[in-house]
A and B are shown apart, each in its own frame.
Chain A
Amino acid sequence: MRLMFSAALSAAIVVPASAAEMKVSVEIPRMTVAEYHRPYVAMWLEKAGDPKVVNLAVWYDIKLKQNEGAKWLKDMRQWWRKTGRELEMPVDGLSSPTRAPGTHEVTFDDAKLAGLAPGEYQFVIEAAREVGGRELLRIPVQWPPKPGAEGKAKGEHELGAVSVALKP
């Protein structure tokens, strides 16, 4: 009993002590379509069997008057069902404007990742484009990460190359 307790304690100390970091690279593909709107994008971490998710970022039309951009948030339908419908968007530190075609790097640090219980996670990214399509990619993530841990995925239409690099 005492042994288990001390093991749990030391684990609890090890995790938050690290200045862990998750660097995500997202490619928004350039498209030749008659009507183009930048996609809405949501990123989160989820763990099998755990209904709670860790929201990382939501890119949407936050600048429209009267929060009109929120009308299309439900098009990121897995994100919407898992967590979006529970939130009052915009959320500080979570929502930001949509991004133009190209490759974007975002870094999530302790503020988001602290308190993450050790385990096997999925990094999930979902993109939905007005008058366009929708795509969802998953990258397995181990937490806490080993040094140099990395994962990649490649989208087919709404997302290009996506990678996740973790620093313990």
Chain B
Amino acid sequence: MTILRVFKSRPVVAAAAIAAVVAVSAPAVAHRAWMLPSATVLSGDDVWVTVDAASSNDLFYFEHHPMRLDNLAVFSPDGKQIKAENIATGRYRSTFDVKLSEAGTYKMAIVNDSLFASYRVDGQVKRMRGATPEKIEKEIPKNATDVRVQEVQSRMEIFVTQGKPSDTVLKPTGRGLELAAITHPNNLVAGEKAEFRLLLDGQPAKGVEVDIIPGGIRYRDKLNDVKVKTSDDGMFSFTWPEPGMYWINAGVRDDKASYKDAQRRASYTATLEVMAP
């Protein structure tokens, strides 16, 4: 209702805002958000990867919304942040390039951590997205009721290796939901078992359901998704049935938000390439 009303009064801005919100919050809601690298295992001295980023129903087809790249961070094998090149956003997808000038494993991550507030004022429900604590204190009127604040932490990652895989970029940050690789994410082969540990704020995330979906959905009738639950030490393992790109996603809700009395929603998403043996 609120969205409709805003839409009528300020159509252009509102449409952009809606698109952005869907893209950003996609992992936890209806559509699937993803990044898709042109390759993850590379050889040679002067090589590049190009990456598509979008949110869509089918993996990995850009048919719905482009991903916002405002919070994209690219890390070279030594852990330093480097620049993505040729960044562009089209109608259905965003894209960027990364030059792999060093040997080792690169990480590309889109990390969002912001507050979402909803409240009622003069009988109307208002929403505030991408908010900061200061903004909430300042902009929510004193007479507002039903104030609800949620912290949304989402992390989406891909990994790409030129030459020998390395570990520096795999170190967890200790914030939000993250994947700690036991099996290196660029050393995955069909028919082999891979092991990972899911962490929440750096601690094992136990009993969390991880959704694993192979790409290529458009050309089959079934989703072929597999759900695995993390053990008490946050571990999960999976034997890749086929080579290809896989989308993995997990989410948790709790009350450990950085903002007072807020709920926290944390999600992790990665696209992993599984090679043929």
Does B189 have its Cβ within 8 Å of any Cβ on chain A? yes
Contact assessment for A86 and B164 in the assembled complex, using a CB-CB cutoff below 8 Å: yes
* Whole-angstrom CA separation of A78 from B187 in the bound complex: 11
A95 to chain B, nearest CB (A): 13
Contact assessment for A85 and B275 in the assembled complex, using a CB-CB cutoff below 8 Å: no
Does A156 have its Cβ within 8 Å of any Cβ on chain B? no
Contact assessment for A80 and B45 in the assembled complex, using a CB-CB cutoff below 8 Å: no
Give the segment of B9-17, B36-44, B110-118 that binds chain A.
Answer: B36-44
Contact assessment for A78 and B46 in the assembled complex, using a CB-CB cutoff below 8 Å: no
In chain B, residues 27-67, which have Cβ atoms closer than 8 Å to a Cβ of chain A?
A: 41-47
Contact assessment for B277 and A66 in the assembled complex, using a CB-CB cutoff below 8 Å: no
Contact assessment for A73 and B44 in the assembled complex, using a CB-CB cutoff below 8 Å: yes
Please, which residue of chain A has its CB at the minimum distance from the CB of B189?
A: A81
Does B276 have its Cβ within 8 Å of any Cβ on chain A? yes
B277 to chain A, nearest CB (A): 7
Q: Give chain B residues whose Cβ lies under 8 Å from the Cβ of A84.
A: 43
Partner of B41, one of A66, A70, A80, A86: A80
* Whole-angstrom CA separation of A77 from B165 in the bound complex: 14
Does A146 have its Cβ within 8 Å of any Cβ on chain B? no
Does A72 have its Cβ within 8 Å of any Cβ on chain B? yes
Does B163 have its Cβ within 8 Å of any Cβ on chain A? yes
Please, which residue of chain A has its CB at the minimum distance from the CB of B243?
A: A77
A158 to chain B, nearest CB (A): 14
Known: A67-B45, A71-B44, A71-B47. A85 touches B276 (CB 8 A): no
Contact assessment for A85 and B163 in the assembled complex, using a CB-CB cutoff below 8 Å: yes
Does A74 have its Cβ within 8 Å of any Cβ on chain B? yes
Q: Give chain A residues whose Cβ lies under 8 Å from the Cβ of B47.
A: 71
Known: A77-B275, A77-B276, A80-B41. A66 touches B164 (CB 8 A): no
A52 to chain B, nearest CB (A): 15
Does A68 have its Cβ within 8 Å of any Cβ on chain B? yes
B70 to chain A, nearest CB (A): 32
Partner of A70, one of B45, B165, B275, B276: B45
Known: A77-B275, A77-B276, A78-B277. A85 touches B43 (CB 8 A): yes
Contact assessment for B165 and A85 in the assembled complex, using a CB-CB cutoff below 8 Å: yes
Sampled A-B contacts (29; CB under 8 Å)? A66-B45, A68-B44, A68-B46, A70-B43, A70-B44, A70-B45, A71-B44, A71-B46, A71-B47, A72-B43, A72-B44, A74-B41, A74-B42, A74-B43, A77-B41, A77-B275, A78-B277, A80-B41, A80-B43, A81-B187, A81-B189, A81-B275, A85-B41, A85-B43, A85-B161, A85-B164, A85-B165, A86-B164, A89-B43
- List 3 tightest A-B contacts by C-beta distance, closest first: A71-B44, A74-B43, A73-B43
Task: Report which A residues bind B (CB closer than 8 A).
Answer: 66-68, 70-74, 77-78, 80-81, 84-86, 89
